Chain A
Amino acid sequence: MRHPAGFRVFRAVGLLVFAAYFFVPLLAMLDFSTQVRGSAPGRTWDNWEFMVTDEDLRSSIVASLLLALLTVVLMVVLLVPTMVWVRLRVPRARPLIEFLCLLPLTIPALVIVVGISNVYSWVTYLLGDSALVLTFAYVVLVLPYSYRAIDAALSAIDAATLSEAARSLGAGWFTVIARIIMPNITGGILGAAFISVALVLGEYVFASLLRFDTLPVAMAALYKSNGPAAMAAALASMILVAVLLIGLTFLSRDRHKQGASS
């Protein structure tokens, strides 16, 4: 349908305003992170190289990326089988599971940190003081968002009939979950995973108060001594998350083309 010219102009202006709202700060960050010190003319990538050359920043980036990976793996391993099992075998427990999963959303992060700081003194005592032990806390932190994404995907398929069909053909429960249900909720799992990555890469309160050097903590510290390098690191993490979300969109589209519901 062809819209009137006035509407098309209004739409184009609206898009431009929104694009400016999102991209001007990003361009400003890029500009700031590539300026030569002392306001000299020209551009430099030194601040971006700093992410690789600085030992502390590099190790915090590696720690954050590993934390994101471990959080996603643990979240999927814990949440997907639990949600499938509850949906198929104990539907009466669904409201309880939903309540528990959404609970972290209602409690301020600061309160959670204060509550678990004593537990973490034991965790670090038993597992060492690596930042990776934050995985346990981060799994709790991402639960509300992951639960919603996976629950929506599960609601879009007839999980009960698919699992009964698979069982009648000889599949055990592990096969039902791993080979029948999970491939059909991949979109939801990917969504949950990418939201988790975004949350972990940006999480500051837990890591800072529990004294672990993750990327956001390192960036905050770096900002006091080397603003442009901190800006480069912040922009890099945002670009990474944006790439992941764009990847999710394309993956979901491809799956729809193949006929698998997501």
Chain B
Amino acid sequence: MTDSRAEHGLAVELSDLTRVYGSVRALDGLTLHIEPGELVALLGPSGCGKTTALRILAGLDTATSGTVSVGGKDLTKVPASKRDMGMVFQAYSLFPHMTVVDNVAFGLKMRGRDGAARRQRAGDMLDLVGLGEHADRYAHQLSGGQQQRVALARALAIEPSVLLLDEPLSALDAKVRVQLRDEIRRVQIEVGTTTLFVTHDQEEALAVADRVGVMNAGRLEQLAPPAELYSAPATKFVGEFVGLSNRLPAQVSGDTAVVLGRDVPVLPGSTTGSGHALVRPEAVSVVPDAGGGARVATVMFLGPLSRVTCRLPDGTDVVAQLASTEALRLQPGDAVRLEVAPEPVLVVG
């Protein structure tokens, strides 16, 4: 994160948040610190509590216990309308009876800004998201992607202390999704607002966030930069949820484990003794070898990369991700030897 972003944003602190609905514990002691100007993505499966956390931060839901503070100010009891946060929703949320420019200016009107200042700021924000020419249109005259960009402009127009994005891309098709994802990141870097982005799409989270928090059953399993989260998962859930992983038999002794006959370092939090190593497909290499013991089961062409599934003598399937030039030399039924790169792995029970 750059210093200029840190200058603009405010730190966010969620402390020991719990939210109970009847017998369901949606949040179970969530603690999360977001640095000023940082973009943190909360990632997890449906029902893990990520949206509940965002709604509590927005003031749209109330925590059973715990506190919310922004810039050192306790907002736990402050209503949503007084929290000064901009939010983009999963569902299209533009006011249908207002034009695009009136939608963007609405928050400024609520803050008592005069008409000229409102129009100026709304125009600037629409230019920022590339929709300056659509100011006089209504929501139904815009595509889904355009509506979400207007919603982003509307959220940013009030110069919020925190920007909240609640799965803003999930209703869009794949191509628009990638475009808007990149645009959100560009705009966030430009304005430097502290941002919490909730998504169930790991590619989205890994692509836009400074840090990604993986949630499971109301708890934060790990909060780390995307590369660290991917290469050094702290828990079995994170290892299995983020990216593809092979579960290969492993024998741990000290700080190394024997996986496919090779010594590899183990990550902190690994089990001791025998277990299963979570090995990424790209950490597996496939060497044609008549005495290797494994056989190629399938070769799946994915463009520049291919995914090769090999079967070990004990019936375990191992997926390897190889360059297509290398993978296409392999045929189903070929005898091969599998090797694991000497990168740290998490060994789970």
**Interface residues, chain A, with chain B CB atoms under 8 Å away:** 157-158, 161-162, 164-172, 175, 180, 183-184, 258-261
Describe A's contact surface by its main secondary structure. helix
Interface residues of chain B: helix, strand, loop or mixed (majority): mixed
Q: Is the CB of A259 within 8 A of B138?
A: yes
Q: Tell me if A170 and B138 are in contact (CB < 8 A).
A: no
A-B contact pairs, 15 of them (CB 8 A): A157-B96, A158-B92, A162-B95, A165-B95, A165-B151, A167-B80, A168-B80, A168-B155, A169-B81, A169-B86, A169-B158, A170-B107, A258-B138, A259-B140, A260-B138
Cβ A169 vs Cβ B154 within 8 A: yes
Decide if B96 touches A164 in the complex (CB within 8 Å): no
Q: A171-B81, A172-B81, A261-B96 are in contact. Are A158 and B91 (CB under 8 A)?
A: yes
Instruction: Write out the residue numbers on chain A whose beta carbons fall within 8 Å of the beta carbon of B197.
Output: none
Return chain A residues, CB-CB under 8 Å to B266: none
Picked from B59, B79, B82, B93, the residue with its CB within 8 Å of the CB of A161 is B93
Q: A164-B60, A175-B110, A259-B140 are in contact. Are A170 and B93 (CB under 8 A)?
A: no
Q: A170: which B residues are within 8 A, CB to CB?
A: 81-82, 84, 107, 110-111, 158
Q: Which of B58, B79, B96 has the most CB of A within 10 A?
A: B96
Given contacts A161-B91, A164-B58, A172-B81, 12 further A-B contacts (CB under 8 A): A158-B93, A161-B89, A164-B80, A167-B80, A169-B81, A169-B107, A170-B107, A180-B95, A258-B138, A259-B96, A260-B96, A261-B96
Contact B97–A183 (Cβ < 8 Å): yes
> Does the CB pair B110–A165 fall under 8 Å?
no
Query: Is B89 in contact with A166, judged by CB distance below 8 angstroms?
Result: no
B60:A169 contact, CB within 8 angstroms:
no
Quote the shortest CB–CB distance from A104 to chain B (angstroms). 32
Bound state CA distance, A167 and B89, in angstroms?
13
The one of B59, B93, B111, B155 that contacts A162, using a Cβ cutoff of 8 Å: B93
Within the assembled complex, what's the spacing in Å between the Cα atoms of A184 and B91?
A: 17
- Which residue, of A168, A175, A258, A261, has the highest number of chain B Cβ atoms within 10 A? A168
- Residues on A with C-beta less than 8 A from B155 are 168-169
Question: A184 vs B97: C-alpha distance in the bound complex, in angstroms?
Answer: 6
